[in-house]
Structure 1
């Protein structure tokens, strides 16, 4: 359409042959020459408008330049009537179309109204001219058709831009999802691996068999973490609340942390289980990495999950600024829940995830 559309528009200039023939048939003289030059100039100016402003990426011309171009075309139409007579008013059709391409708003239709008045009135007051009222129909049809065409092009362009923006946003959201999931997965897995590797190092001389078992767990965790990362990238990984509770219990036992972890998830509705699973993972990671706790208590109801510890973890402001809690907060908002961090009755910090008092 960048090529074919403007070319089809320029073909309209063939209708200027009517005033051209009328001027050509006039007696030789300065008026005939001026009329022929004016008609040719009008054709050239119309072609310029179509080629530069009528395509799918055409834009509105600034008002001063628009006024200059349209005034010039009106002058050319007036000059063309010196020899072509009333036939020269055919050029007003091209002035109206040019106005629509240049202005690209409903004000351009006022030019069609002006042209229609001129076509009806002028032949009746100029001696020797014949009325050409049927030209008004051409002006109206051409103006309405071209105005509708430009609006269609504009809407299609806006739709294309909107689709491009939606595609970009979708890519960005997918990148955020992958980054958030990989952070949550690796943060937890590497923390547990670190704890187990440290424990195995301490048990090498005291209990070689236990140390060997811990290292076997480290290998299994590393393989599981790799599988989780691959699953996250391909969007096939599933997180289960029961699995995260079992993993948290095992991680706390390996770290020597006394843990009170629920043994059932029946009271949690299905729509909250994935969120609570990510919350258990994040709470476990924070306790093992930051809190230096000796006791952890996980309590869970149908709408609330709480992870309390007795450690001396980082300040609440630091926790809120972390990537893990930021990602957990985003997940919570998606299901109408909220995340809060505060001092714990046990003396450390509390991670709270609840639907109570939350707003979407």
Structure 2
């Protein structure tokens, strides 16, 4: 048992001193059967109360939520039956069980049900004491309500703390999932583009070995540089500091298209693009050109950029290029986060168009 739980039970056990009255009265009546019945019922009542307290506290410590209604009803029924035996056996001192019944009700039941049952217990104390001619027990009835109210305050605080813990755990889980999604998206975009260009250049270098050794060596040098750049990009993405440059991506796009034997038409300047769209447009160029090189079998590719949009158009076969994979899904998410929209247009044997444009504020 955890140390905090043991201390909690010891704290609850201290309050069992108020059940000393029924025990003493039962001992005074030990020559009669009802005296031993009162003692046994009081001890059983105490044990069940402490067990219930320990169970509720354990659920609180483990954030397991509230006890079930069925368990609460069975527990309260057992305690009520034992309280009735105690009262019948030892007389008015048995009414000391009433506050424990109220505390258990508030602890295990919803607020409204616990409050109603507390009032019923307080009323029962008055009815039983008056009916049996035991005198005025209004002080005990007030004690029942006070104990229940104090317990309700503590339980409300506990429930709020549990709710806050659950909310914090959900926020942490969402943060973890968002970070995983970001890393997966960045790694896909980075490696997809870099590996595609590396593959194309490796094929080109292999073809040039028997034709133009110097150019083949130049392509191999580019392969080494690209692989180092890709490794650095992956490390940056993992560290969460990944940023890309639009002019750099256009230069890389030209290089990738040239290596794939695709004629490129791309802008010489990107100064007109506002700062908040530059990174999004850079990712768009990277993803769009990667798809052109990988899927389109195109002979020409045109990159058009203005202050509100970027478009990549090729004259290849659009069939496989229209598939919405992880790259386009990630790009769509980036566009939505930046207040832009991704549009894909394609027709068989008429090329493929990928456009990201800023949406107008309404």
- TM-score, normalization by structure 2: 0.89
Structure 2 equivalent of residue 79 of structure 1: 85
- The Cα offsets for residues 106-135 of structure 1, whole Å up to 9 and x where unpaired, read as 3012121012112233322323x1212111
Structure 1 segment 310-325 matched on structure 2, within 5 A: 310-315=315-320, 317-318=322-323, 320=324, 322-325=325-328
What is the CA-CA distance between 1:152 and the residue it aligns to? Answer: 2.5
* One of 133, 137, 159 as aligned partner of 1:132: 137
Structure 2 equivalent of residue 168 of structure 1: 173
Q: 1:104 to 1:9 in 2, by over 3 A?
A: farther
Structure 1 equivalent of residue 189 of structure 2: 184
Q: 1:189 to 1:83 in 2, by over 3 A?
A: closer
Q: 1:228 to 1:62 in 2, by over 3 A?
A: closer
Structure 2 equivalent of residue 301 of structure 1: 306
Structure 2 equivalent of residue 30 of structure 1: 33
What is the CA-CA distance between 1:330 and the residue it aligns to? Answer: 1.4
CA distance in 1, matches of 2:343, 2:48: 67
What is the CA-CA distance between 1:83 and the residue it aligns to? Answer: 5.1
CA distance in 2, matches of 1:200, 1:358: 49
CA distance in 2, matches of 1:64, 1:356: 55
1:291 matched to 2:274? The reply is: no
- The Cα offsets for residues 49-70 of structure 1, whole Å up to 9 and x where unpaired, read as 1122233146555445533432
Structure 1 equivalent of residue 150 of structure 2: 145
What is the CA-CA distance between 1:143 and the residue it aligns to? Answer: 0.8
Structure 2 equivalent of residue 9 of structure 1: 12
What is the CA-CA distance between 1:259 and the residue it aligns to? Answer: 1.3
Aligned pair count reads: 356
1:336 matched to 2:349? The reply is: no
1:234 matched to 2:229? The reply is: no
1:213 matched to 2:218? The reply is: yes
Contact 1:344/1:350, CA 8 A, preserved across alignment: no
1:257 matched to 2:262? The reply is: yes
Contact 1:86/1:123, CA 8 A, preserved across alignment: yes
- Partner-residue secondary structure (3-state), 1:3: helix
Which moved further from structure 2: 250-259 or 215-224?
250-259
What root-mean-square deviation, in Å, do the aligned CA atoms of Structure 1 and Structure 2 show? Answer: 2.5
What is the CA-CA distance between 1:351 and the residue it aligns to? Answer: 0.5
Structure 1 segment 100-139 matched on structure 2, within 5 A: 100-127=106-133, 129-139=134-144
What is the CA-CA distance between 1:42 and the residue it aligns to? Answer: 1.5
What is the CA-CA distance between 1:357 and the residue it aligns to? Answer: 6.7
Q: 1:131 to 1:331 in 2, by over 3 A?
A: same
What is the CA-CA distance between 1:19 and the residue it aligns to? Answer: 3.0
CA distance in 1, matches of 2:283, 2:267: 15
Unaligned runs of 5+ in 2: none
- The Cα offsets for residues 161-201 of structure 1, whole Å up to 9 and x where unpaired, read as 33223222222222222121111111111211222222223
Which moved further from structure 2: 53-62 or 43-52?
53-62
What is the CA-CA distance between 1:308 and the residue it aligns to? Answer: 0.5
Unaligned runs of 5+ in 1: none
Q: 1:7 to 1:90 in 2, by over 3 A?
A: same
- Partner-residue secondary structure (3-state), 1:2: helix
* One of 19, 23, 33 as aligned partner of 1:20: 23
- The Cα offsets for residues 30-58 of structure 1, whole Å up to 9 and x where unpaired, read as 33232222222221221121122233146
